[in-house]
A and B are shown apart, each in its own frame.
Chain A
Amino acid sequence: MFERTKISLVISVILFAVASWALGHFHVPDSAGKMVTIIEAYAYYYDILIGIGIAIILASSLNLVNGHTGQFSLGHAGFMGLGAYFASMVTLGVQLPLVPYPVFAGAPVWLAALKGIGWALALAVNSLLSLLNTWVGAAHELPHPVQFVAALFVGGLAAALAGLLVGVPSLRLKGDYLAIVTLGFNEIIRVVIQNAEPLGAQRGLGGMPLATNVFWTFSTAALTIYVVWNLVNSTYGRGFVAVRDDEIAAEAMGINTTKYKVLAFATAAFFAGLAGGLYAHFKQFVTPDGFGFMKSVDIVVMVILGGMGSTVGVCVAAALLTILPEMLRLLPQWIEKGGTAALHHLGWLPGNFVVKLPPRIVDLLQNRMILYSLLLIALMLLRPQGLFVGWGRKVVRK
């Protein structure tokens, strides 16, 4: 069975390489008649395609934590953000700013004690940052094609490290509390980036090369799915599901639940970091706000919609939810056109009348947040188990 997954992975990677080359090589006429590459001619759809690939990576990796291990993480976007920024630092050759050490001048005694603790913390953080800077610097020196891979890898690694740091203390907590803490860490990551000048702070970081393409995106997606699937279905990986099903029984059966939880967290964070790196080198510009709470909720909704623990479902949901905003944009037009056609057909409307929605209503329908939040509520009320329960949860023999 697993031989099949290995072969599938290799074949799909080859297919993606070919597809990627083809999209960038063959020329078709665009609207003006000029001959451009397929990517340029269908830039809008290409955008969405890459977006789907990145979403699949994010959702599948989060599925390992939320779906298979049953831990509720609400901070996945933070890892994506770390990956995006670290990968960008490699390709741009940026170094991390070190944390300033607290100044002791003129502070009352009790404050000086606190500042002493702050100083020690700053020292620890700066050592870590210096280590990361060496990685980034070394990766930057690599020749170009390898540099991108190294950049993605550094991004993933940095995110995995963060996953470890966040995971180890947090994973003693359950349910709501874990969700809140992961959310807190996500926001901390965002705020820290926001205050880092060399990273562009609030204004964002730009100028990354357009290194992401169908090959890199979908190969990473395939790899993510391969890793998560194989991991969970091995004897070793059954430990993850055991932790979800009954943590106390799992411990009693010799499974180190903390190890599995942290492992799930770090692995998921790694892939989220990869996704972030891919994203950064596609949009060629990132801001800290794009990796906050809302993005995390986006990813969580993909996992829930797909059916937590269902590999196929999560991918389908990721694709759907990436296309959704685009469809919502067209919704008022569809309502108007469809309504007009229907009413004409029913004969309720004379020939030259058309259905036109008042602008206020159009605003409402195009308000992605309102519709999204209503979708969320409706989903939870009507079908909380997601669209694809049980797919991918088949019992695997070997």
Chain B
Amino acid sequence: MSEQAIEFIQQLINGLSLGAIYALIALGYTMVFGVLRFINFAHGDVFMLGAFSGFYVGPRVLLFFGNKPGYGAAAVVLLVSMLICAVLGVIIEKLCYKPLRERPKITVLITAIGVSLFLESFGQYIFGANPQAFPTLIEDVAIDLPQSWGNFTALTVTTGQVIVLGTTLALMLILTVIVLKTKIGMAMRALAYNPTACALMGVNNNFVISFTFGLGSALAGAAGILTSIQQPSIDPLMGILPGLKAFVAAVLGGIGNLGGAVLGGIILGIVETLVVGYVSPTYRDAVAFAVLILILLLRPAGLLGKNVREKV
């Protein structure tokens, strides 16, 4: 295997790890769009809240685990943060979005922008604008690849990356089970298809919507924790860029389509890493915008999305 090929595979691995984060956040965007037909601008900030939940909860949990970083502590912090984010997501929905259900889309969009700005600025006020150090839950070190892999030992795979990929996979599996096999999952799918009929069939639409919000927020919170394991510097504005990129990922895959969110996230993560590696690091954030504009011009429904025609 040539050096160039090894290098390429390395980029793919890095991109996959990045893409997993985007996918987790994108899932939240797409689920909310599916049931409410609106883009929750504030979703990226839930990602930030997840990281900060971990920041506050982490030391206490570590204490309980004898101050030793490890998988047990990490798992507990992850679950607690996901729960906190889920609750926050539901509260935001009930307070700010539910009263605007019948209003034109612009109103809700502006409200979402307002919520996002509030979370960011209030976060800066409460947490302080300076970056904080996320507690070490798991040592993020490069794994020694077995010698039998030959040339592949040149690759750098860190424990952080493995955790991210593994956890993301596990969460997506759980999500798939929920969406496909449970009654609430069926209600979510039905609601995305036709809310009126759903209500007429005895589904408690409000509950399903809140549940969807909670689920999406939990995933964003998980993404926050996972990112912080690899990049321990957190600040209240850290959700802006990942939120935007995850949104692009959701649109890329076809907004409203869960598989699309995952696909979009992975593609975006890989493309971004490749551009940074092969073209120039300055264009890192521009990649998302370029992808967004391209996909909206060429195929607005997204890769896996369906074109919904207005009935004339």
- Chain A residues with CB under 8 Å of chain B are 72, 108, 111, 169-170, 172-173, 175-177, 179-181, 184-185, 187-188, 191, 195, 248, 297, 300-301, 304, 363-364, 367, 369-370, 372-377, 380-381, 384
Counting chain B residues whose Cβ lies within 8 A of the other chain, the interface size class is: 35 or more
- Residue pair B293, A181 in contact (C-beta under 8 Å): yes
Contact with A along B118-129 (1 / 0, CB 8 A): 101110110000
- A179 and B118 alpha carbons, distance in the complex (Å): 20
- Chain B residues with CB under 8 Å of chain A are 4, 38-39, 96, 99-100, 103-111, 113-118, 120-122, 124-125, 247, 251, 278, 282, 285-286, 289, 292-293, 296-297, 300, 310, 312
- A364 and B118 alpha carbons, distance in the complex (Å): 12
Q: Residue of A at shortest CB range from B96?
A: A377
Q: Please classify the interface of chain B as helix (H, G, I), strand (E, B), loop, or mixed, using the class held by over half of its residues.
A: helix
Q: Which of A170, A370, A381, A384 contacts B118 (CB 8 A)?
A: A370
Using A169-B297, A373-B118 as known contacts, list a sample of 12 further A-B pairs with CB atoms less than 8 Å apart, ordered by residue number in A. Answer: A72-B109, A108-B4, A111-B278, A176-B105, A180-B292, A191-B285, A370-B122, A370-B125, A372-B117, A380-B108, A381-B111, A384-B104
Q: Which of A170, A179, A248 contacts B310 (CB 8 A)?
A: A248
- A195 and B280 alpha carbons, distance in the complex (Å): 14
Q: Residue of B at shortest CB range from A368?
A: B121
Residues of A within 8 A of B106 (CB): 72, 175, 304
28 A-B residue pairs with CB within 8 Å: A108-B4, A111-B278, A172-B300, A173-B296, A175-B105, A175-B106, A177-B296, A180-B247, A180-B296, A181-B292, A184-B289, A184-B293, A248-B310, A297-B113, A304-B110, A363-B125, A367-B125, A369-B120, A369-B124, A370-B122, A370-B125, A373-B114, A373-B115, A373-B116, A373-B121, A376-B117, A380-B107, A380-B114
Residues of B within 8 A of A111 (CB): 278
- A241 and B29 alpha carbons, distance in the complex (Å): 32
- A248 and B309 alpha carbons, distance in the complex (Å): 12
Q: Residue of A at shortest CB range from B118?
A: A373
- Residue pair A181, B118 in contact (C-beta under 8 Å): no
5 A-B pairs closest in CB distance: A376-B114, A369-B121, A373-B117, A373-B118, A377-B114
A94 to chain B, nearest CB (A): 22
Residues of A within 8 A of B286 (CB): 188, 191
Query: Residue among B113, B116, B297 with the most chain A CB within 10 A?
Result: B113
Residues of A within 8 A of B121 (CB): 367, 369-370, 373
- Residue pair A381, B289 in contact (C-beta under 8 Å): no
Q: Residue of A at shortest CB range from B117?
A: A373
Residues of A within 8 A of B103 (CB): 384
